[in-house]
Structures are given as structure tokens and as C-alpha cells.
Amino acid sequence: MGPSELFEPGDLLLGFDPADKWEAIHSLVDHLSERGRLEPEAVESVREAVLARERSMSTGMEFGVAIPHAAVDHLPGIVGVMGVVQREGGLEFESIDGQATRVVVLLVIPKEQKLLHIRTLADIARVLAKEPVRERLLATADAEEALAALIAGAS
């Protein structure tokens, strides 16, 4: 699943400024709830599933990208939200390359759709591995422009 199917402009949080990766995950799950992308009764189980996954192994990748995620039961479809940390220095996320994280994508995927889970993670990682996409995300204050950069990077 690519960015055009996964995100709407309201799912892209520019100027995202959490204190640490744990606050980032809490804030992104809350945002999904506030936008009605998660049912109220699912919020805490989603939050705990993502936090448990993160505690087991960091989802900080390369190039300043982190993709915290979890597969959960009783979710009608995949949901995602992106936070772009535009402050100097980024966010510590225990990334495999040791770099600070600038783009955090939270993905929540139905447990019964394992193939979609793997494919979506790979698709998002591939788009965000492109330096011009990351540069546009960090430079813009406009969610429509950020989404356009993601979509262009996917093609």
C-alpha cells in the first residue's frame, strides 16, 4: 500500500516535536484516535501493541526514518500517520545507523493481513529511503505538499 492509499493530508504532522520515541508513539496513536481512524475501544490495545513491538526491537531504520508498527486484531483496514520532526537534531530513536530520526511513520495493520503488513512496511521504507523525498518533507510546512512529495516518491 503506497502513500496515496495510506495517508490524507491530515495524517501528516509537520513540526512534530515529541520529547522521545515513547512520546512520539503515544502522540501518533492519539492522533489516529482523534481523526476517527481507530475505534475508541481499540486505542489502548493498539498503543500497547506498538509499544510492545518497540520494546522488543527498535523500529528506527536508516536515513532518519522510524516506522513503529504493530499487527492487531479486529481492525477493518490498515491505518497510518506520519510525524515529521523538523527541529534541528531530530529525535533519538535507537536507529540502526545511529542517526537521529526526522520522519516517524506509525502503521497499524490487521493481524490477519500479514502479507499486506510486510508489503506496506517495504513500500513506505522504499519511498522514505529517497533523499529528495525526505528533504521535501523536512522543508515544507504544508501537508498537501508533503503528501505530494510522498506520492511522487512512490512512482
**Is 74 labeled as catalytic in the residue annotation?**
no
State phi, psi for 11 to the nearest 5 degrees. -95, 0
DSSP code at position 41: G
Cell numbers for 24: 512520539
Task: Name the catalytic one among 31, 69, 74, 117.
Answer: 69
Cell numbers for 4: 496515496
* Location of C-alpha cell 526491537: 57
CB of 114 closer than 8 Å to CB of 71: yes
- Active site members: 69
